[in-house]
Amino acid sequence: MPKIFKNPAEMIAARNEWLGSGLTIGFVPTMGALHEGHEALIKQARSDNKIVVLSIFVNPTQFNQKEDFEKYPNTLENDIKIAESLGVDAVFTPQYHDIYPDNYRYVLAENEFSKKLCGKDRPGHFDGVLTIVMKLFNIVKPCKAYFGEKDFQQLELIKGMVSAFFMDLEIIPVAIVRESDGLAKSSRNVRLNADGRALAPKIYQIISNSKNTDLASEELTKAGFVVDYVTDIGNRRFVAVKTKLTHDGGEVRLIDNVKI
């Protein structure tokens, strides 16, 4: 059974003990509702480090839509079982007031890439991400931290933050884990109804096979998605779409990216 730490003071005491004994700490930050994508990060962390810390915190400051935050799945008991089965040493599950004693008065912002792609559709999203990740890094003090390429823009911004602030840890990218039909695994996929789930693999198929972003965008629209963006940057194609084919009729936003 992993140790469960509910507040920063407990987590800090444990990490001081581990670091004092010369143990390396690998860290996997998540918002819970764990699936095989998260599991890939945890497995990598398990094989690279003496100690593995998993955090589960649905970070309100990175949600720009109340509905998205309120409908975000919460499966903590099952998550802890998964953590146990993968040999996680500690699960850190703070509450808002523990981790934001400043009530988000202090914000870590990036002013270029964070305004593009998902940042355009979700103002303030990456400020919330960078701020929580900085807080978690300061609490856990990992040697290595693991992030999925599923959230490629997030991964790039976190690498940039670590470099800009001379932070003493390594960011390890982990490849996207997909369903057998190509859909990128995501905690939000459970919100899709049967029609939405049948449609969703088209995101990956279309961005992988279209000749250019305009055609991809057209095909996604024809398939029934509302397209936020399809953009090529370097050798990668990024996409974000929305659909209302959900169990509750609310909107869900899905992202993906592929090498081109």
Q: Which residues bind ligand AMP (CB under 6 A)?
A: 30-31, 37-38, 40-41, 147-148, 150-151, 174, 176-177, 184-187
CB nearer ligand AMP, residue 14 or residue 40: 40
**Which alpha helices (H) appear in the chain, and where do they start and end?**
8-20, 36-48, 66-70, 76-85, 96-99, 118-121, 125-140, 152-164, 194-199, 201-209, 213-223
* Rg of the Cα atoms in the chain: 18
Rounded to a whole number of angstroms, the minimum distance from the CB of residue 180 to ligand AMP is 13
Helix/strand/coil for 24: coil
Distances (CA, A) of 228 to 62, 67, 221, 241, 254: 18, 18, 10, 5, 10
Q: How far is the CB of 146 from ligand AMP (least distance, A)?
A: 7
Q: Which residue is nearest to ligand AMP (CB)?
A: 148
204 vs 225, beta carbon nearer ligand AMP: 204
Residue closer to ligand AMP (CB basis): 159 or 218? 159
Q: Is the Cβ–Cβ distance between 6 and 14 less than 8 Å?
A: no
Which residue has 């909107």 as its token pair?
251
CB of 106 to ligand AMP, least distance (A): 21
The residues near 35 (Cβ < 8 Å, ≥ 6 apart) are: 177, 185, 186, 187, 189
Q: How far is the CB of 28 from ligand AMP (least distance, A)?
A: 7
Closest distance between ligand AMP and the C-beta of residue 20, in Å? 28
38 as an active site residue: the answer is: yes
Contacts with 39 (C-beta within 8 Å, 6 or more apart), sequence order: 82, 86, 177
Question: Minimal CA–CA distance to 92: which of 79, 107, 102, 104?
Answer: 79
Enumerate the H helices of 107-241 as residue ranges: 118-121, 125-140, 152-164, 194-199, 201-209, 213-223
CB of 186 or CB of 217, closer to ligand AMP: 186
Q: Which of 38, 97, 125, 247 is catalytic?
A: 38
Question: With respect to ligand AMP, which residue has the nearer C-beta, 143 or 172?
Answer: 172
Residues with active-site annotation: 38
